[in-house]
Amino acid sequence: MLPLLTEDAQKPELRSLSLAELQLLVDRMGEKPYRARQLFRWLHFRGAGSFEEMSDLPRPFRERLAQEARLATLVIDTVQQSSDGTRKYRLRTQDGKLIEAVYMPDLDPDEADDDSAAGIRRTLCVSTQVGCAMGCGFCMTATMGLVRNLTAGEIADQVYRVNADLRARAAAEERGSAPGRAEAAGRSMGGERPLTNLVYMGMGEPLHNYASVMRSLELLLHADGANFSHRHITVSTSGLVPNMVRFGEESQVKLAVSLNATTDEQRGKLMPVDKKWNIAALLDAVRKFPSKQGRRVTFEYVLLRGVNDSDDDAVRLSALLKGMPVKVNLIPYNENPGLGFGDPGEARLQAFRKILIDRKVTAMVRKNRGRDIAAACGQLAVQGQKEKRAAIP
């Protein structure tokens, strides 16, 4: 039973509720049962950002909803546009925290992690936490520590705000004018969604916020909501082994694992998680990962100049993955100021890849997106956090 609470922060957050929970809420309010589905569609199909937008719900019902529940709609705070089409969004939560989502249009089908080869691929990388507890040495988000988990509604709302922004831009382009105020604020969403693919690779370790991530997937995959295909969503982990196993059993979406090193000595320095679950435990979990409907695990390998990018590393990596039905994404490091790691350069990247290919390991290069706009994970949010601190007298 959902409690009737008066304090705003303690009211149930509507966008995080499942359809079944909305049904309970609507029932408790004495409304007709079909209102729950109508409300769910406003929240997740149209991505409504406010109660006012829900025009076919009776006004008294909307007013009671606003009293008994809340809509934790995100606000687009800053957008950076790259020359390659990447758009990086900094979004503000209701309690004033900053997170990031990165829109990447048109990924090369050869690089993509899904089988929808036809048409344009428009991928959004979403955040799952404010900051992160995992402490990876090459990552800007890690410097924030973990501030808090995002709710399922906040994870899903990144998709709805960006969809609305993209739709507004497309409409404005057609008209040949700038987006209107309501459009720019992310309102006026129709049912269509410009985004085709999602990757949970933004700020935070998704499997460290397991319950909210699973709920957000339920919402985003729902036929009455955004209706994504599970084949078009990838969740990434730095290697939380117990939750990987659970995720494999409880979800059908795809998994990517950040490996980034070939010995525990090296990986433990870059990624503290390795000290708890080492490479052997990680690979064991991947071997046991259920390959439902042909999904295969992707390994992400960020190449750091002079750290993990040698020929020996490539040889060791192929030996580790030998016989596993996996794919490796090689990612040249997107340099973060002050962290002390460098981009390996194109020649090193290709030499590394060749060693893998020669040893029959499927290896793709994931091009760095938005190099001109600080698109590496956490750069924009950390920058915003510093600005906020500096503004406090």
DSSP three-state, residue 106:
coil
Report if residue 197 touches ligand SF4, rule: CB under 6 A: no
Answer whether 377's CB lies under 8 Å from 70's CB: no
The structure tokens 């992160």 sit at 132
Two tokens at 193? 């969604």
Q: What is the DSSP string of 79-93?
A: EEE-TTS-EEEEEE-
CB of residue 40 vs ligand SF4: minimum separation in angstroms?
30
CB of residue 128 vs ligand SF4: minimum separation in angstroms?
9
Q: Which residues contact 39 (CB under 8 A, 6 or more apart)?
A: 14, 22, 26, 54, 57, 65
Report if residue 136 touches ligand SF4, rule: CB under 6 A: yes
Longest dimension (CA), the chain: 68
- φ, ψ of residue 364 in degrees (nearest 5): -110, 155
CB of residue 238 vs ligand SF4: minimum separation in angstroms?
4
Among 82, 158, 163, 238, the residue binding ligand SF4 under the rule CB under 6 A is 238
Report if residue 36 touches ligand SF4, rule: CB under 6 A: no
Report if residue 142 touches ligand SF4, rule: CB under 6 A: yes
Shortest CA distance to 258 belongs to which of 188, 329, 197? 329
Report if residue 205 touches ligand SF4, rule: CB under 6 A: yes
Residue 100 is among the residues annotated as catalytic for this protein? yes
Among 107, 364, 377, 380, the residue binding ligand SF4 under the rule CB under 6 A is 377
Q: Which residues contact 370 (CB under 8 A, 6 or more apart)?
A: 80, 82, 84, 86, 87, 88, 102, 104
Among 54, 203, 373, 375, the residue binding ligand SF4 under the rule CB under 6 A is 203
Report if residue 239 touches ligand SF4, rule: CB under 6 A: no
Report if residue 132 touches ligand SF4, rule: CB under 6 A: yes
The radius of gyration of the chain's CA atoms, rounded to the nearest angstrom, is 21
Residue 132 is among the residues annotated as catalytic for this protein? no
Report if residue 99 touches ligand SF4, rule: CB under 6 A: no
The structure tokens 């100021």 sit at 337
CA distance 194 to 180: 18
Report if residue 141 touches ligand SF4, rule: CB under 6 A: yes
CB of residue 293 vs ligand SF4: minimum separation in angstroms?
27
**Comparison of 333 and 352: residue with beta carbon closer to ligand SF4:** 333
**Comparison of 204 and 370: residue with beta carbon closer to ligand SF4:** 204
Chain contacts with ligand SF4 (rule: CB under 6 A): 132, 134-136, 139, 141-142, 203-205, 238, 377
**Active site residue ranges:** 100, 377
